[in-house]
Each structure stands twice: as structure tokens, then as C-alpha cells.
Chain A
Amino acid sequence: MLSSILPGLSTLAKRGLAGWLIIIGAILVVVIVVMTAISPWIVPYNPTEIPSSPKILAPPSTQHFFGTNDLGQDLFSRVLSGGGVMLQVSILSVIVCLAIGVPLGLFASYAGGAADRVVGLVMDSIYAFPGLVLAIAIAAMLGRGVVNMALSIAVVYIPSYFRVIRSQVLSIKEMSYIEAANAVGAKNRTILTRYILPNIVPSIVVVATVNFADAILTAAGLTFIGLGVSVTIPDWGQDLTSGQRLLTSGAWWAITFPGIMIILLALGFTLMGEGLSELLNPRLEQ
């Protein structure tokens, strides 16, 4: 597998800045995913357990690289394993969006007419609404938990997929090879899957990466408001939330490290999104 990745990387690097953005972004994401995945084996302390004789609010030291929080838990271990929730939420929300948004976009815009207008109207309304507000409202109704968070984010994000797909489908629909396909009596379903879908995949990928980044930030936001996961599960958002109460005692380490991790993860996806969008729709900067 490595032998096929390296040539791929060098092609990307040759594409200039855009390629580098993708590479750096991907590295960030991969490193974090791997780190989270292997965390159970490399954590020096148990991140969920509350120690019996806690060293509360200890600043960073050789024993506790990132210090401890107000429950005496080692923050380094919590940071290593804290990405899980966010990754799960974002992956789940992307899957839901793809599963619902893509077919919806394809069918509504290809069919045109009333279906397109009605669905479009609903999508536009959701899109115009402040995303975070809506996500909070939905999450408030649904309750806490990974799945609920993912669903709230998905609902807010589906219109973005819809819009992008719709504009692409509309322009492709007019192209002559679609007419040609129709002329030889191809079924609609075939046209959609064999002609249109492959052409819109690049745009979908770009939207998906931005979706990932937004999902992470939204998940953090939801957690901050109290709509996240249960307090014991190690989660960066949770650490930030509980860390806020500790600010006045000067425990800067309680929020800094989890916060930086969130930034890095969101940044990773954002860079990939930037790079991909540059590659696929190069800006005409001469």
C-alpha cells in the first residue's frame, strides 16, 4: 500500500501549493486518527478513571505532561484519547449527509419541475437559517449523545450538499452527451449513475471535507453548551467546557491542550478542503 501512496504524494506535491495543502491537512488528520485509535495502548494513565488520591490541578510536569484537571485526571491521556467523540460525530454526520443529501440533490434537480422547487425551497430555508442555532435547537430536542449530535449537524449541512449538487447537475444536464444518452433511450437511473454522478464526485468531496471541519467545530460547540456526551467520556470539547470554570485559578493547561487539538483537527480538514477545491476549481490568479 505504501508503494502506491508515495507516487500519489509526489504527484500532489508537484501541483504546487494546493497539493501541499492537501498533504499537510491529510497528515494532520491521519496522525490524529491514529493517535486516537491507539490511545488505549499508549496512555500513561486511564483517562476515564478518577484517581483515588487525586493531584488536583497540577501544572504540566514530567509526570503529567499536560497537567491534571480538577478531578485529578491526567490531561495528556485525556488529550490522546479525546478525539474519538468528535471523529465519530463528524464521520457519522458526513455519512448521513451523503446518504440523504446526494440522492435528494440528484433526483430533485434532475427531475426538475415541482419536485425541484419544493425541495429547493425547503433547502434554501434551512440554509438561510443560522446553522449553529438550528443545530443547537435540534440537539436540544433530541438530547445528548454522539448520534444525536451527528443528526443535528447533518440536518444543518444537507442543504450545502444539495446546493452544490444541484448547480452541478443543472449544468451537466444541458450538455450534449446527456441528450445523446436520452436519444438512445437510456433510462434515467442509468444516466444519473453513469453520467452525472461521476462528474459531481469532486465537488461532493470538497463539500464533505468542509463538512468534516464544520462538524468538529459544531460538535465542540454543542458540547460546550451541555449537549455533548456524558462527562466521563474523554472528549476535548468536554475538557474545554470543564476547563472554563478553572480559568480563574490560573490553570491554563486545562484548556490550552484540548483546544489546540480541536484546532489541529479542524485545520487538517480545512486545509484538505482548500487544497482540493483549488485543484478542482483552480482560481485564475495569473
Chain B
Amino acid sequence: MILILLTMVFLLIRVLPGDPVLLHFQHPTEEQLADMRHQLGLDKPLWVQYFDYLFGLFRGDLGKSMQDYSSIGQQIFSAFPATLELAIFSMVIAAALGIVLGVQASKAYNKPQDHAIRIFGIVTYALPVFFLGMILQLTLGLGLHWFPVGQRFSPMVQTPLGLNVGSFHFSTGLYTIDSLLEGNIYKFTQSLRYLFLPSLTLGLVLSGVFVRLTRSNMLETLRLDFVTAARARGLTENKVTYSYALRNAFLPVLTMMGLQFATLLGGAILTETTFSWPGLGRYIVDRINFRDYTAIQGAVIIFGIFVSIVSLAVDLLYAYLDPRIRL
């Protein structure tokens, strides 16, 4: 299936109306066109291009940028960790928020609190993520000055360095982890400050799905016999809710995280643009503005591969955790 994906992306920029090279330039000369085509290998026959493309991917070569023929792979590689960090924090916020609200809603079944939470779930879905981002920027950022409204890190401080022991150097590209590896608490708090608004934005918009899922799972589980039996033994509601019911709702949440990942990446593009977050999303938007079509192709491929890997990982994790197999 990944193959189909890759083929589709390949065809995307070559088959759609409009020659990408032509579109790139404003007023090109014939020489410029031919030159670029040659540099990018776009003058070769289609099937040769296709194989070059696939083999290139295996080697990690994503082609050259139309802007300056630099390696797209390199650019993507440096932008990737920012998006990964945003994605992780957003997903965690979405799931945590979803679980907390979902549990609350199930306990207050059909009462006002339940309805309010369900409405919240529906409304967050209809919220354009960048609008929410802007509102948060206005209120929490510019209004209350609690959080910065753009960028990933303070320009006056050196970015987190990761682990440096003698000549051994290890960094993940995730500022939160790198600052901890470095042992620098100030950088850690700074990275969290910058991370907060963007991941809250993305997390809020995604949380609706988790709210619904947790709520319906809880309602189902709370109706089961062993829950009533636990209550009949006089166990506290807290114990019943958390030890008994929630344990059973957890696994579907995990699967849902995997399923929602694709949506998350889409939302990340808009969020990164809103907050000037230097990740893959903003990279794509920049490339679009520069009409750098080969770079766009490269970035889209990475998105696709990223989603496939995460889906696969979730499938494996689910098979491992499924109680029917373990217990």
C-alpha cells in the first residue's frame, strides 16, 4: 500500500495539468527551463524517472529543491523533529483531555454536565484549528502574556544541545528531551512554554474524538455485571470508575491515537503556520509559496510514510496488548 501511495505522489506532480517546472518560474527563458529540467532529471522518460524516484527513496534521497538544488532530504530531516515534538505533545493533550472529559461525561450520564461535554466534543470538531490558534494567541499570549505566540524557542538562548559526554554526542531534535539530556532546567521550561500554545491548539481540536470514544466505552463498561458487583461490595465510586471501567477503555484510545494521527499531521500544517513553528508543516507551506514542487513532493512523501509507520506501530502495539492474547 505504501507503494501505491508513493506512486500516487509521483504521478501527482507529473500528471496533473500544469508543468511544475514551468509553473515554478515567473518569466523563464528556454535555457532556464531546460537547465532545471536536466538538473532535476525531469527530462528523462517517465518510467526512468519512476525507478529513479523509488530507488532514490530507498537510499533516502528525496531529490533536489527547485529553489537552489539543495538536498530536500536534508531540509526535511532538519524540520522533522519539530513536527514530531508538536505531534507527540498534541496527541497526549488530546487523549488526556478526552479521557478526563469522557469519564466525567459517563459518570454524569444524561445530566447537564454530560450534555455540555458532548457539545464540547462536537464544537471542537467544527473549529478551524488556525482560528483557535489565533484566539489563543490573542488571549493567552498577547493578552495575558503567559505564553509566547510564535517560534519554537527563545532567540536569545542557545537551543538545547542534548547529551555531550566527552566526544560522545547525542540529541533527538526534540527540545524538551534534549534540554533534559543537557541537564538544563531553564531550557526545559522554555521549550515547554513555546510548545504549550501550539500543542494545546492542536490537542483541543483533536480531543473531541477521544471524548466521544471514552464516554461510550465507559458507558458500556459501567453497565457490565462486574461493575454492579463491585458496587454491591461497597467499593468506592472512584475505584469502580478507574480500576474497573477505565482499564477497559484504555486500549481503544490507543488505537484511536493511531487512527487520528493522519488528521493530526494535517492540523499540524495549519498550526505550524499560525505559530511560525519550524516544522515540516511550515516547510510545506513555504515551499508552496516558492513554487518548489519537488520539495512539496518530498515533504508529502514523508508525511505519507510517517503515517504508515505510526499505523503499523499501533497495530503491533495493539496485538501485543490485547488481553485476549495476553491474559
A and B touch in the complex (CB under 8 A): yes
Mark A residues whose CB is within 8 Å of B. 121-122, 124-126, 128-134, 136-138, 140-143, 213, 217, 220-221, 224-227, 240, 243-244, 247-248, 250, 252, 255-256, 259, 262-263, 266-267, 270-271, 274, 283, 285
Query: Which residue of the partner chain A has the closest CB to B16?
Result: A141
Q: With A and B bound together, what is the CA distance between A61 and B1 in angstroms?
A: 57
Q: With A and B bound together, what is the CA distance between A141 and B18 in angstroms?
A: 7
Q: With A and B bound together, what is the CA distance between A128 and B6 in angstroms?
A: 13
Q: With A and B bound together, what is the CA distance between A231 and B286 in angstroms?
A: 19
Contact: B4 with A122, CB < 8 Å? yes
Query: Which residue of the partner chain A has the closest CB to B6?
Result: A125
User: Are A131 and B122 also in contact (CB < 8 A) when A141-B18, A240-B130, A259-B128 are?
Assistant: no
Q: With A and B bound together, what is the CA distance between A138 and B149 in angstroms?
A: 30
Which residues in B have their C-beta under 8 angstroms from that of A128? 1, 5, 262, 307-308, 311
Which residues in B have their C-beta under 8 angstroms from that of A248? 142
Q: With A and B bound together, what is the CA distance between A220 and B126 in angstroms?
A: 12
Query: Which residue of the partner chain B has the closest CB to A268?
Result: B126
Q: With A and B bound together, what is the CA distance between A267 and B117 in angstroms?
A: 16
Which residues in A have their C-beta under 8 angstroms from that of B4? 121-122, 125
User: Are A247 and B16 also in contact (CB < 8 A) when A128-B311, A132-B269 are?
Assistant: no
Contact: A267 with B122, CB < 8 Å? yes
7 residue pairs A–B, Cβ–Cβ below 8 Å? A130-B304, A131-B262, A133-B304, A141-B12, A142-B17, A224-B273, A259-B128
Secondary structure dominating the interface of A: helix
Contact: A220 with B134, CB < 8 Å? no
Query: Which residue of the partner chain B has the closest CB to A258?
Result: B131
Query: Which residue of the partner chain A has the closest CB to B297?
Result: A137
Proximity bits, B1-26, A CB within 8 Å = 1, else 0: 10011001100110011101000000
Contact: B269 with A225, CB < 8 Å? yes
Contact: A124 with B266, CB < 8 Å? no
The 4 closest A-B pairs by CB, nearest first: A132-B266, A266-B126, A130-B262, A259-B131
Proximity bits, B256-287, A CB within 8 Å = 1, else 0: 00000011111101100110000000001100
Q: With A and B bound together, what is the CA distance between A262 and B132 in angstroms?
A: 12
| Stretch of B34-42, B236-244, B288-296 on the interface side | B288-296
A240 to chain B, nearest CB (A): 6
Interface residues of B in 120-163 (CB under 8 A from A): 122-123, 125-131, 134-135, 137-138, 142, 149
Query: Which residue of the partner chain B has the closest CB to A219?
Result: B128
Q: Which of B125, B263, B300 contacts A270 (CB 8 A)?
A: B125
Q: With A and B bound together, what is the CA distance between A273 and B12 in angstroms?
A: 32
Which residues in B have their C-beta under 8 angstroms from that of A217? 126, 128
Q: With A and B bound together, what is the CA distance between A143 and B284 in angstroms?
A: 15
Query: Which residue of the partner chain A has the closest CB to B307?
Result: A130
Q: With A and B bound together, what is the CA distance between A252 and B270 in angstroms?
A: 20
Contact: B274 with A244, CB < 8 Å? yes
Q: With A and B bound together, what is the CA distance between A262 and B135 in angstroms?
A: 14
Q: Which of B267, B296, B297 contacts A132 (CB 8 A)?
A: B267
Contact: B303 with A130, CB < 8 Å? yes
Taking each of A136, A142, A244, A262, which has the highest tally of chain B beta carbons within 10 Å of its own beta carbon?
Answer: A136
Q: Which of B1, B130, B303 contacts A124 (CB 8 A)?
A: B1
Contact: B1 with A125, CB < 8 Å? yes
Contact: A134 with B300, CB < 8 Å? yes
User: Is B219 engaged at the interface, CB distance under 8 Å to the other chain?
Assistant: yes
Q: With A and B bound together, what is the CA distance between A218 and B285 in angstroms?
A: 15
B40 to chain A, nearest CB (A): 16
User: Are A125 and B5 also in contact (CB < 8 A) when A132-B269, A133-B266, A221-B128 are?
Assistant: yes
Q: Which of A137, A220, A225, A271 contacts B12 (CB 8 A)?
A: A137
Which residues in A have their C-beta under 8 angstroms from that of B267? 132
Taking each of B264, B304, B308, B311, which has the highest tally of chain A beta carbons within 10 Å of its own beta carbon?
Answer: B304
Q: With A and B bound together, what is the CA distance between A151 and B262 in angstroms?
A: 20
Q: A124-B1, A133-B300, A220-B130 are in contact. List 17 more A-B contacts (CB 8 A).
A: A121-B4, A128-B307, A132-B267, A132-B270, A133-B303, A133-B304, A137-B300, A138-B16, A140-B296, A141-B293, A224-B273, A226-B288, A226-B289, A243-B134, A247-B134, A255-B138, A256-B135
Which residues in B have their C-beta under 8 angstroms from that of A285? 219
Taking each of B16, B126, B135, B300, which has the highest tally of chain A beta carbons within 10 Å of its own beta carbon?
Answer: B126
Contact: A141 with B20, CB < 8 Å? yes
Taking each of B128, B142, B300, B303, which has the highest tally of chain A beta carbons within 10 Å of its own beta carbon?
Answer: B128
Taking each of B13, B262, B265, which has the highest tally of chain A beta carbons within 10 Å of its own beta carbon?
Answer: B262
User: Are A259 and B307 also in contact (CB < 8 A) when A121-B1, A137-B12, A267-B126 are?
Assistant: no
Contact: A259 with B18, CB < 8 Å? no
Contact: B126 with A126, CB < 8 Å? no
